Amino acid sequence: MALDKTTVARIAHLARIEIPESELDALTGELAKILEWIDQLGEVDTERVEPMRKVMDIPAHWRPDEVTDGGRREDILANAPETHDGYFVVPKVVE
Amino acid sequence: MSELTALTLTAAREALRRREISARELTEAHLRAMEAARDLNAYITETPERALAMADAADARLARGESGLLEGLPLAIKDLFCTEGILTTAGSHILEGFVPPYESTVTRRLWEAGAVCLGKANLDEFAMGSANVTSYYGPVRNPWTRPGEEVPLVPGGSSGGSAAAVAARLCLGATGTDTGGSIRQPASFCGVVGMKPTYGRCSRFGIVAFASSLDQAGPLTRTVADCALLLQAMAGYDPQDSTSAAREVPDWSGGLSGEVRGLRIGVPAEYRVEGMPEEIERLWRQGAEWLRAAGAEIREISLPHTRYALPAYYIIAPAEASSNLARYDGMRFGLRVEGADLTETYMKTRGRGFGAEVKRRVLIGTYALSAGYYDAYYLKAQKVRRRIAEDFTAAFREVDAILTPTAPSAAFRLGEKSDDPVAMYLNDVFTVPASLAGLPGISVPAGLSAEGLPLGLQVIGRAWDEATVLRVGRALEEAAAFTALPYGLAEVAG
């Protein structure tokens, strides 16, 4: 599955990472090389193999449905780039 | 190097308990050593005031006859663990200025056991790297150099600052995290012991997430006994991490011996990879010979899917990373680079905030998870992952532990392999398979390369059987009698 510049630009947009046009060619080359190396996975017979979704067979833990945290507005806002009146300030989303 | 910084964690613990030394003088000796070795760039943040306050508190408890498992012992913390009130960077520009309002479970356990925080150790950005060259705070230098040479070498990664600090006597032990080899490979490069426990042994709560199905915390120390002690303090069930195991933490350090009589040790044929230096192959054979001489039985085993572990890892880990790193959006913490609208602000923030390797991995991961490619890449990789785990399950029907080299080379020059991502990824060829299977693995320094650089051997064990891994590690340590020091330290020690 060859990777082209248009696809890389599309993924970069999906990942919300700005890639300057001048870096797109080099990046496409790097990613294509990595994916080409990854393509050897195709050699492995995985017919009737269940994907491994869980690493260790640990049973789910049960606990009482109780509030264990909260009421920490100041802590939560302490690292924000911009706050106002106890809220995060973000760029305008709706017109 | 002072006598105090040369102590092992275990010896310092005894000396503190017998009140022969104080936590304050032990901590001060390390703070001085850290100041003198800043050229290594092993620490991103030093916390001398907090360290001394913690040391004084430990001394007060020791005076009252109270002592936790790690009372008064100075440690370095990989800067991937959130530490309340201390800058936590993950080696990334995007976490600029981030001071966590909470403590990771692993570090909380360490402080509750009486340990002293010396500072936050440098690392590859978001723990993505094998040479500690991707940190926004600059590369770490390995305290080892080739004899008679000044050329800086990499410490391995991603826990490169932790490994370098332990090797250079800038702490008695350090925490690391290991996703595909990030504790074991730098341990090998720096001539120290490093262990990744079974997935689920240590809580991941408060550790900046890279790949959640692979990330595990573990210790870096100068001896296997120290490793057992530090792991014992780090491990344990945590209700805040649903993947942590509700299992008793065994007394690994109390029961530690190098007794391997009757143990069956597997040597996997598939780990003889093309291009591996003859000296590593020789050291591996030597390691097997040491264990045989100590009474273990050596068996050739087969782990047929070994060569597919790295490519599977480089789908699974980036896929999980692309999802985990979505939280860095410039809205709630860290760096924000303003754009014309919300989307542009996201894109500029992440474009400037992430380094090249992190971007590559997020993009590979986004691609692998995107519509039309999910089955071909992500699902395929998860199926291969099961194949790899099944290989280990089959092998552990015949053997009790597996012996392999830790890394396919000794430490290399700063700048080497940096322009070829795949060449860099190959550093983890021997450590990634156990990571994918969630198994415990230790790296023990076993010898020197022809160039005079440390080389490690890896022991992999069954899930939850850290005890056997430590035992075999201890046997290798006894046989190898690795006492070599980084050259700068050897000169000072005279």
* Model pLDDT, residue A10: 96
Res. B488: pLDDT tops 80: no
Question: Which segments within B148-222 are labelled E, that is strand?
Answer: 173-178, 193-196, 216-221
- Is B208's Cβ below 8 Å from some Cβ in A? no
In a domain, A31, yes or no: yes
pLDDT at B494: 38
Q: In this model, does residue B175 exceed pLDDT 60?
A: yes
Q: At which residue do the structure tokens 């692309």 appear?
A: B322
With contacts defined as CB-CB under 8 Å, which chain B residues touch A51?
Answer: 379, 382-383, 385-386
pLDDT at residue B1 is higher than 90: no
**Contact call for residues B40 and B168 (beta carbons, < 8 A):** yes
Q: Which residue of A has its CA nearest to B313?
A: A38
Query: Of the residues B92, B130, B135, B158, which is catalytic?
Result: B158
- Please tell me what DSSP assigns to residue B207: B
B263-314, pLDDT tens digit by residue?
999 999 999 988 889 999 999 999 999 999 999 999 999 999 999 999 999 9
Separation in Å, CA of B100 to nearest CA in chain A: 8
pLDDT of residue A92: 86
d(CA A68, CA A62): 14
Q: Mind giving me the DSSP string for A3-20?
A: --HHHHHHHHHHTT----
Cα A43 to chain centroid distance, Å, stands at 28
In this prediction, the answer to ipTM > 0.85 reads yes
Distance, CA of B271 to CA of B402 (rounded, Å)? 11
What is the SS3 assignment for B461? strand
Which domain range does residue A23 map to? 5-43
pLDDT of residue B300: 98
Size of the A and B interface in Cβ pairs below 8 Å = 160
β-strand B193-196 against B264-268: which pairing, if any? unpaired
The answer on pLDDT for B399 being more than 50 is yes
Residue A35 lies in a domain: yes
Give the count of beta carbons closer than 10 Å to the beta carbon of residue B468: 17
- Angle CA(B96)–CA(B102)–CA(B106) in degrees, nearest 5? 105
Averaged pLDDT, B164-177: 98
**Beta bridge partners of residue B301, listed in sequence order:** B268
Average of per-residue pLDDT across B367-372: 94
Residue A84 domain flag: no
pLDDT of residue A58: 84
pLDDT tens for chain A, residues 1 to 95: 579 999 999 999 999 999 999 999 999 999 999 999 999 999 999 999 999 999 998 888 888 999 988 999 999 999 999 999 999 999 988 87
Fold of domain B9-263+399-493: Amidase signature (AS) enzymes (3.90.1300)
Q: Residue B78 catalytic?
A: yes
pLDDT tens by residue, B202-246: 999 999 999 999 999 999 999 999 999 999 999 999 999 999 999
* CA pair distance B192, B163, nearest whole angstrom: 7
Quote the CA–CA distance of A75 and A82 in Å, as a whole number: 14
Q: Which two tokens stand for residue B293?
A: 């001489």
CA distance B90 to B206: 12
The total domain count for chain A is 1
Chain A residues touching B363 at Cβ < 8 A: 8, 11-12, 15, 17, 27, 31
CA angle B90, B92, B93 (to 5 degrees): 140
In DSSP notation, B181-194 reads STTHHHHHHHT-EE
Helix, strand or coil for residue B100?
coil
Q: What is the pLDDT of residue A4?
A: 94
- Scanning the structure block, which residue is given the tokens 């913490």? B333
Q: What percent of chain B has pLDDT over 90?
A: 94
Asked if residue A83 is part of any domain, the answer here is no
B493 or B471, higher pLDDT: B471
> pLDDT tens digits, residue range B26-81?
999 999 999 999 999 999 999 999 999 999 999 999 999 999 999 999 999 999 99
- Are residues B127 and B179 in contact, defined by beta-carbon separation less than 8 angstroms? yes
pLDDT of the residue at B149? 87
For chain B, give the percent of residues with pLDDT over 70.
99
Answer whether B73's CB lies under 8 Å from B173's CB.
Answer: yes
For an interface test with B, the pick among A8, A18, A47, A92 (most B C-beta atoms closer than 10 Å) comes out as: A18
- Tens of pLDDT, residue by residue over B75-115, are 999 999 999 999 999 999 999 999 999 999 999 999 999 99
Q: Is the pLDDT of residue B460 over 70?
A: yes
Contacts of A12 in chain B (CB under 8 A): 363
Predicted TM-score (pTM) of the model is 0.97
In this complex, do B379 and A51 lie within 8 Å of one another by their Cβ atoms?
A: yes
What pLDDT does A1 receive? Answer: 52
